[in-house]
């Protein structure tokens, strides 16, 4: 069969008759970092709770490395490390004491616990914090401890709910670097409402809105959505719009308040060169010509605030 680490099939969760998550399906492979992106209340946490076996789906199934979460919850959960939105820390313990408890909870065999704690601390940059009480650590270091407990049993799948919320920029940078590193050997799912975070950290992105997946594809596919058939042109002596429409492939020309001209062109056309030639021949005073890209934020807004979804991309490889 396939080698998917996570298979979510038609996951649905009802709260009081309302669908908080509706028919969400996707697969994940080893070595992938998947970003779960969506506005607050979109259904990210609810989906993560179902993936980790902390919440029963109203419908649908979850398999972790082929093991069904409902039929064999113990075995499936043993393959997952989870950091919920509310960190499960015992703040009155030191880092070492807490990771020892976490290792036992995750059923690391007693003879391997010491090594497991060392490895988790090393990976999370906590080596020098061993004897510190967790309550005295900064927010960023507490988050590292939260991630350390999630990876202490070297799980196949790591699920982190909003891992950078509330951190300062330097802490955010460090945690993102850590997530990327973890993604090399595990499958990682992070939820976030921060678009640049997904761009920086993830290989794949799923956008969830009102409980439904509205985009599922590689980050490159998402980026490509913003490159439309548009050029922005700066002309010192702009002609009437008709003159631009005579250039082969140009379908629309619009003068913007900034004085720049936005030109749209047909799918199979690339009129940039012809526009440059026309500008030179007619002395339009061309000083700028560049693709006019929609910002990724605007693509996100289009996906989540309009009922117009991009066709579903096939999941997995
Ligand atoms: P996100 O993580 O994307 O912010 P959530 O998964 O927390 O979104 O919530 C999705 C929707 O489900 C929201 O409308 C939220 O109010 C609702 N919801 C979440 N948990 C519960 C609950 N225990 N009871 C009722 N409604 C809930």
Structure tokens at 80: 């997952």
Structure tokens at 262: 């936005």
CA nearest to 120, candidates 107, 139, 138, 102 = 102
Ligand 1, atom 26, lies closest to the CA of: 15
SS3 155: coil
What's the pLDDT band for 313 if we cut at 50, 70, 90?
very low
Please list the residue range(s) of the chain that carry CATH number 3.40.50.300: 1-79+155-218
Residue 316 pLDDT greater than 50, yes or no: no
DSSP letter assigned to residue 133: B
The CATH class of 1-79+155-218 is alpha beta
Please list the residue range(s) of the chain that carry CATH number 3.30.70.100: 229-291
What's the pLDDT band for 310 if we cut at 50, 70, 90?
very low
Structure tokens at 183: 């993604």
> Where is 11: in which H helix or E strand?
strand 4-15
For a mutational test of ligand 1's pocket, the pick from 43, 159, 211, i.e. the residue with the most ligand atoms closer than 8 A to its C-beta, is 43
What tens digit of pLDDT does each residue of 213-229 get? 999 988 888 777 766 78
SS3 289: strand
Residues with CB under 6 A from ligand 1: 15, 20, 38, 40-46
Residue 11 pLDDT greater than 80, yes or no: yes
What tens digit of pLDDT does each residue of 38-71 get? 888 999 999 999 999 999 999 999 999 999 999 9
CA nearest to 68, candidates 84, 47, 85, 51 = 51
What tens digit of pLDDT does each residue of 253-296 get? 998 888 899 999 987 888 999 999 999 999 999 999 998 877 77
Does the domain at residues 229-291 carry the CATH identifier 3.40.50.720?
Answer: no
244, 250 contact by CB (below 8 A): yes
Q: Which pLDDT does position 195 carry in this prediction?
A: 82
Computed from CA positions of residues 91, 95, 100, 102, in that sequence, does the dihedral angle turn out positive or negative? Answer: positive
């Amino acid at each position: 069969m396939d080698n998917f680490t996570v298979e979510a099939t038609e996951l649905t969760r009802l709260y009081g008759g309302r669908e908080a998550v509706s028919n969400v399906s996707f697969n994940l492979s080893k070595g992938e970092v998947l970003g779960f992106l969506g506005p607050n209340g979109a259904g990210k946490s609810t989906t993560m709770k179902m993936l980790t076996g902390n919440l029963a789906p109203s419908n649908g199934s979850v398999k972790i490395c082929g093991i069904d979460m409902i039929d064999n919850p113990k075995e499936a959960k043993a393959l997952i490390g989870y950091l919920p939105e509310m960190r499960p820390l015992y703040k009155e313990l030191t880092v070492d004491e807490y990771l020892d408890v976490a290792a036992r909870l995750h059923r690391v065999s007693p003879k391997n616990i010491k090594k497991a704690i060392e490895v988790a601390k090393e990976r999370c940059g906590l080596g020098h914090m061993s004897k510190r009480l967790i309550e005295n650590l900064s927010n960023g270091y507490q988050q590292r401890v939260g991630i350390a407990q999630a990876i202490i049993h070297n799980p196949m799948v790591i699920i982190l709910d909003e891992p950078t919320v509330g951190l300062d920029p330097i802490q955010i940078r460090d945690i993102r670097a850590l997530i990327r590193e973890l993604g090399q050997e595990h499958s990682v799912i992070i939820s976030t409402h921060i678009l640049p975070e997904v761009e920086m950290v993830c290989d794949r992105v799923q956008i969830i809105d009102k409980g439904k997946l509205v985009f599922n594809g590689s980050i490159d596919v998402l980026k490509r959505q913003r490159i439309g058939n548009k050029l922005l042109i700066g002309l010192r002596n702009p002609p009437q719009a008709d003159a631009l429409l005579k250039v082969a492939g140009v379908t629309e020309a619009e003068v913007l308040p900034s004085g720049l001209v936005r030109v749209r062109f047909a799918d199979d056309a690339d009129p940039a060169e012809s526009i440059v030639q026309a500008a030179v021949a007619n002395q339009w005073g061309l000083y700028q010509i560049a693709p006019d890209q929609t910002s990724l934020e605007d693509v996100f807004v289009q996906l989540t605030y309009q009922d117009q979804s991009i066709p579903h991309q096939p999941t997995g490889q």
